[in-house]
Amino acid sequence: MHLLKHLEARLRADDDATAEALKEGRGLDLRLTLALILCAVLLTLLHDFGTAKAWKWMLPVAEALGGDAWAGHLRYVFRYAPRAELHRLLYWVAATLLFYGALPALCVRLVFKEPLADYGLRLQGFWRHAPLYGALYAAVLPLVAFAAWQPAFRQTYPFYGRAHLDPAGWIVWEAAYAAQFLALEFFFRGFLLQATRARLGWYSVLVMTIPYCMIHFGKPTVETLGAVVAGIVLGTLALWTRSIWPGVLVHVSVAWTMDLLAVWAKRGV
């Protein structure tokens, strides 16, 4: 109850500040405007150039720089090598770190001229809020365990399809997967949420949840709808704690659990 009252008080303060800002008529909010435009641009670039299948754009560049030899090597790495699937996934992770992590961070530091700690990277109070996030993980765990035995789930996870045959590659993938979630949480629950909070208050959570849900399109429907709930819950908690780290921990824990159960299920088939 104490945590809920604290959360309510923090959100009410944000809403009061937002109402005051609108009442004063501050005009165009450049930070809010730039954050939303950058969000749309980066999501577009990630969709077109950052998926595991998007590596092909590098072929003409490789041919221009190094001829057929470079292009041939690129094809081997991403298409014919024993771990070509893993290489494609690592390309996706690298693109995610760029578009979700590095570029928004540069915007915060160079354009907004604000510390990254104000955008969710502060560690202060981490352990104080850890029990609440642990409860979230415990609540989701039964649903994950149930989903792991569904055919659609096993066809999707783990993303590295040879994980049950390649333990070393699986370890590399899971480490990269965790880094991807750090970038994702920073983008949605850090950059986008905190950049819109001052003007929109708690409604910044709903604004953030829309694109967060959309990046799940193509995944199992239950997971995509679950992203709406997760976006609202994790966004509200990030708004309260001003930190993304507990959310990163929950996201990585759930993802690793999903992959572990999926691999277990595949080995049991």
- What pTM, to 2 d.p., does this model score? 0.86
Give per-residue pLDDT as tens, 117-165.
999 998 877 777 778 888 889 988 888 888 777 777 777 888 998 988 8
pLDDT at 107: 97
Percent of the chain's residues with pLDDT above 90: 63
Domain boundaries, the chain: 2-30+116-268
When pLDDT is averaged across residues 106-127 and rounded to a whole number, the result is 91
Instruction: State the pLDDT at residue 219.
Output: 81
Per-residue pLDDT tens for 224-262? 998 999 999 999 989 988 999 988 999 999 999 989 988
Check pLDDT > 90 for residue 1.
no
Nearby residues of 100 by Cβ (< 8 Å), 6 or more positions away: 42, 46, 180, 183, 184, 186, 187
The pLDDT value given to residue 133: 84
Closest CA to 8 of 208, 167, 236, 182: 236
Which DSSP string do the residues of 163-220 spell out, in sequence order?
TTT-HHHHHHHHHHHHHHHHHHHIIIIIIIHHHHHHHHTTHHHHHHHHHHHHTTTTS-
